[in-house]
A and B are shown apart, each in its own frame.
Chain A
């Protein structure tokens, strides 16, 4: 049997799938995930942030596959369940190619499936600033120029951080966002041109589909070698905005980038449930968002939905889930999987660098192709983001491709002990960090010495712990 086409998937999402109340779908996820974690004996182990247990990764994979087969996906607009039988799912997974070409000219890169403890260099598709109210115009160009000028960066995530369009406040889903989608991409093109890398890949993440679509232009806008971000909503959910992004990416022929963030404490339950639900989410990305058609890659994140920090990605249970989820996907599929880890601390701080190291420990030695996103998610201020943390993702990402999982586990533990006590409600997760104009001299677009000193200090510490750069 062939995998269902996109049109068949859309028919099920919009017309023919069984109607179910959202709450019933959510509770079914919880019930099935709870049963499967017991059946497969998956237990959260806080003492092992990076697992070396292959059978645990395979059990998590099988539980995730079974969960998706039993529950399916859910379309929030139509309230329809999008179900697939086992043979359709297996065929969809089989059609994945394990390769995606991004960028153009001298910036053309091939993202390839990396195995667990694969010592080939990863790709650094980094980013970006999330929710930081960056002002439109020159400082926005400088932000992405500061990222693009880093030689280890192979691509980056953009937006939606802008607060205004033509000086007017931008609200999500409004016509001003549509205009901004195009403007934002033009400014990014200018940034990568200034960095001398006009073919560098980037992915656009405006909230509304129309804002991304408006930016598509093979010359001056979003090219086919760039991408549009679609999201799987927690848990196993989609909506017409995201499906519109997929349909357009499919027809236009640009890269599909799918983000999936399993929520610890949400409908999946605890860390064990979030682990298998995030794997089911990844399978949904393949089948519903058609990752086997055209070029695509995936970003798997883990968030903690309950206190002390709603959006923290880099906590002990998140690292545990990330390390197993990375290995489960790498060992059992050809999904190109990148890391996503928005930090608790802001840019230019020792804690953010330590969090980045911990996130990479659970990613690169565990079979992820590359990395994406390193910006603080919680309680941000304008201009919060810079190229410096992207440089760090790149340098540490490459260094970590040479290590084994047991070393990654001990390094992750070292890092956690340095910062996890600082993730508190009172601190909003950690230090706020510094803005682009504080970290960089905007005339030369080079980091200031005090921040380079912090950077080099953390690197030296890592070298002392045995990491080779």
Chain B
């Protein structure tokens, strides 16, 4: 194993062991060894977080592991970003997503899982939490120049707020600036089609797959 391969492995291992201090140390070593920061992120840190995501999917790891793994990644990226151009940093972002649970709905667990899985797959995720007003989704999307707005609902009585989101984007004349995707326990593909969104994920894994498709378009 070359020195570079060893450092990339250390970055990946630090994320997989949820160790922010080790991730920072490995990032510093990467800078000293003059490894491209983009390579350190994509072939080290992000690779490690994808392994965590896959293990979550397989039922071997749990939501807190996704959160801790993402924290380790973010701690290391802070070290690396001082040594890379903004455009290089942007190139490591697969897409920017604003995500939240719609108004009137305080179920946040599925939201956190999907947000974490999206992060694990290279998306920059802005989680606006549960009981999020329609206009808050839109304001945040404008602020962070989002590619995708993702809304979840766990109750049939809050699903109509998803329709509001689409209508509010249309009313503001900015519907074509964002892809909209929905999901959550009672939400179906038929509902997603009926309200005119661009994507539907029945669970976290599918949400990631759909988000990847949407940013390609």
Contacts and interface: CB of A to CB of B under 8 A. Distances in A.
Interface string A254-286: 000000000101111110010000000000000
B126 interface: no
Interface stretch (B2-10, B72-80, B106-114): B106-114
B160 A171 contact: yes
B67 interface: yes
Contacts of A26: 64
Interface string A98-131: 0000000000000000000000000000000001
B204 interface: yes
Contacts of B103: 171, 173
A266 B204 contact: no
A172 B155 contact: yes
Contacts of A311: 185
A173 B104 contact: yes
- In this complex, the member of A76, A172, A266, A311 whose beta carbon has the largest number of chain B beta carbons within 10 angstroms is A172
Interface string A148-185: 00000000000011010000011111100100000000
B109 A263 contact: yes
B91 interface: no
B59 A377 contact: no
B63 A305 contact: yes
Given A27-B64, A265-B62, A425-B203, A310 B157 contact: no
Given A23-B67, A131-B155, A171-B158, A76 B106 contact: yes
A172 B164 CA distance: 14
A177 B156 CA distance: 12
A177 B63 contact: no
A76 to B, nearest CB: 7
Interface string B71-110: 0000000000000000000000000000000011111011
A308 B185 contact: no
B170 interface: no
Contact of B185 (A273, A378, A425): A378
Contacts of B68: 27
Question: Interface residue tally of chain B, by bracket?
Answer: 20 to 34
B36 interface: no
A377 B184 CA distance: 11
A293 interface: no
Contacts of A76: 106
A307 B155 contact: no
Contacts of B177: none
A273 B63 CA distance: 12
A234 interface: yes
Nearest to A170: B157
A306 B203 CA distance: 8
Interface in A17-46: 23, 26-27, 30
Interface string B137-181: 000000000000000000111101100000000000000000000
Interface residues of A, number: 44
Nearest to A180: B157
A309 B204 CA distance: 10
A266 B61 CA distance: 10
Contact of A266 (B57, B106, B109, B156): B109
A173 B62 CA distance: 31
A207 interface: yes
B157 A305 contact: no
B59 A172 contact: no
Nearest to A206: B157
A174 B205 CA distance: 33
Contact of A306 (B56, B105, B160, B206): B56
A172 B57 CA distance: 31
Contact of A174 (B104, B109, B185): B104
26 contacts: A160-B155, A160-B157, A163-B157, A172-B105, A173-B103, A207-B157, A239-B106, A263-B109, A265-B56, A265-B63, A265-B113, A267-B63, A267-B64, A269-B62, A270-B62, A306-B56, A306-B57, A306-B113, A310-B203, A378-B186, A379-B186, A379-B202, A380-B156, A380-B186, A425-B202, A425-B206
Given A268-B62, A269-B64, 12 more contacts: A76-B106, A133-B156, A160-B155, A173-B104, A177-B157, A265-B63, A266-B63, A306-B113, A309-B203, A310-B185, A311-B185, A379-B186
Interface of A: 23, 26-27, 30, 76, 131-133, 160-161, 163, 169-174, 177, 207, 233-234, 239, 241, 263, 265-270, 273, 305-311, 377-380, 425, 428
Q: 9 tightest A-B contacts by CB?
A: A172-B104, A172-B157, A30-B64, A173-B104, A269-B62, A172-B158, A131-B186, A266-B109, A131-B156
